[in-house]
Amino acid sequence: MQTKATFTELLRSPKKVLAHVDEGDIVVSRRGQEDLVVSRASAHEKDLAGLRLASSLIAISLADGDFVERLRGPFPWLTFLKRIDQESFATEIVAVARACASVGYFGRLAITISAWEATATAVAEGLPADGSDLDYLDEPSPAERP
């Protein structure tokens, strides 16, 4: 969500205007000059990281050879996943990157990569990737010590 304020409002009531920064960017309009955007540094860094990653994905996708194999360069942990899972990652990461670019927010891209990396880590530690070690309950069962 974006909040709008004038430069005069920011100067007169900075606490009131900046109180909205956790809700999203604040667009500060200035008379006769280009608008300013105030945002949290962490949000800005996430967006830059997402843009860098999206740029890398574009470069990787344009190179010759197998796309999945080229993805192992920036994501070496893909080696721990089966080929079919690597292909699923490749498909999902491109789709999520495109979706993030369409809305101008790249936080979801980092979440997706982190989830896949966690899966690869679990496989590397010996957990079966197919879920065969999981026990499914027919009825809910409360935990003794949550």
pLDDT tens for each residue of 105-118: 888 888 999 999 99
CATH number of 3-39: 3.40.1620.10
In whole numbers, what is the pLDDT of the chain averaged over residues?
89
Contact 42, 29 (CB under 8 A): no
pLDDT tens for each residue of 11-57: 999 999 999 999 889 999 999 999 999 999 988 888 888 888 888 88
Mean pLDDT of the region 129-139: 77
The domain limits of the chain are: 3-39, 42-124
Residues of 49-79 as b/e, b for ≥16 C-beta within 10 angstroms?
ebbebbeebeebeeeeeebbebbeeebebbe
